Amino acid sequence: MSVKTVITGTGCYIPEVIKTNRDFTRQDFYGEDNRLIDTGSREIIDKFQDITGIEERRYARDDMNSSDMATIAARRAIDESGINREELDQVILAQNFGNVIKNTIQTDVLPALASRVKHDLGIKNPNCVAYDIVFGCPGWLQGVIQADTFFKAGVAKKALVIGTETLSRVLDPYDRDSMIFSDGAGAAVLETRLPGETSSGILSWSVQSHCTEEAYYLYLGKSNFPDADSRIRYIKMKGRKVYEYAMEYVPAAMKDCLDKAAIPIQDVKKIFIHQANEKMDEGIVRRLFKLYGIKAIPEHIMPMSIHKLGNSSVATIPTLFDMVKKGLWDNHDLQPGDVIMFASVGAGMNINAVAYRM
């Protein structure tokens, strides 16, 4: 008998440092050609906000790393679930840059961040396997899919899945796109249940990777500043390419996921989509409904945190889900039996989607 994968606890950590759009008004921006963009900073920022919806974002304190934030979010998820942490079979941690100490740009992944979190949580059980995954922004959701797969294979029963990132430390301040990114961490405890024990759980999922010309839509590259040290590399993004890719492939993957679950789209209460940028996310959801021949999108179906929290990569979905689940975000709420969908897209390029019943 196939088991069900149920989320029994969630937690998040939202950094305290607030970086508003106003903070960038004195910044000079350069293009990919290393030439100064002569448009005024205020005009650049206003256009940026109009496209992305971002008004402010959160950065980690100087004394805090990705693994520190992950541990806080993990503790909160474990406390809510009520499990004995020694019974965890896996700690799966999604990240893309490891720990990056403030005022450096060197990635530290030795030991793996999952190992650090397991250590910080004081878990002594050697059969609790801790490992990192690097899957771009969809990393946390991919961790959920991996846990579900292990559960159904009968080799695990409890897992802690975390997404954490300090993108503020790998940004090129001279690149307009750098204003998109932020920091944060979110976590969830997943457990198995027999079908007769609950109606909740993962209903289906879909995953895709496009790694031909799409592979380098996000990459590490030299600063846009003309006199920058070419040996130091920062996160870079081909924004238009990412947008076009997401519009074409993400709605189809989401539909595939719903169709596998035999769930009508009208039954979906909320869509938790990676907080990439407002216009892109709205466009993805519109195209999803269009695939079902529906023009009008239900009001309040898509919670959005990007306006205040920015794009924290692997952390956007678990932090937003945690806050909505606890009634802490923009009057959104969830009730037992609600069908929701998670979906993400990011570096690789990778896409995934999960249908879940609360």
Domain residue ranges of the chain, discontinuous segments joined by +: 4-193, 201-357
pLDDT at position 197? 83
In angstroms, how far is CA 282 from the centroid of its own chain? 17
Question: For 123-154, what is each residue's pLDDT tens digit?
Answer: 999 999 999 999 999 999 999 999 999 999 99
Instruction: Tell me the average pLDDT across 343-348.
Output: 96
Question: For 248-304, what is each residue's pLDDT tens digit?
Answer: 999 999 999 999 999 999 999 999 999 999 999 999 999 999 999 998 899 899 999
Reported residue count of the chain is 358
Query: Can 4-193 and 201-357 be said to share one CATH topology?
Result: yes
- Rounded CA-CA distance 82/125 in Å is 17
Instruction: Kindly report the average pLDDT of the chain as a whole number.
Output: 94
Instruction: Tell me the average pLDDT across 165-191.
Output: 95
Could you tell me the pTM of the whole model? 0.94
Instruction: Tell me the average pLDDT across 55-79.
Output: 97
- Rounded CA-CA distance 318/185 in Å is 8
Q: Is the pLDDT of residue 37 over 80?
A: yes
Band (pLDDT 50/70/90 cuts) for residue 106 is confident
- Rounded CA-CA distance 68/55 in Å is 26
Q: Is the pLDDT of residue 1 over 60?
A: no
- Rounded CA-CA distance 239/198 in Å is 42
Residue given tokens 């990114």 in the structure block: 181
State phi, psi for 185 to the nearest 5 degrees.
-150, 140
Please give the CATH superfamily to which domain 4-193 belongs. Thiolase/Chalcone synthase (3.40.47.10)
Instruction: Tell me the average pLDDT across 233-246.
Output: 93
Instruction: Tell me the average pLDDT across 331-342.
Output: 94
Instruction: Tell me the average pLDDT across 181-192.
Output: 97
CATH class of the structural domain 201-357: alpha beta
Find which of 27-31, 50-54, 106-110, 144-148 is predicted with most confidence, using mean pLDDT.
144-148
For 82: left if phi > 0, alpha if psi spans -120 to 50, otherwise beta; the answer is left
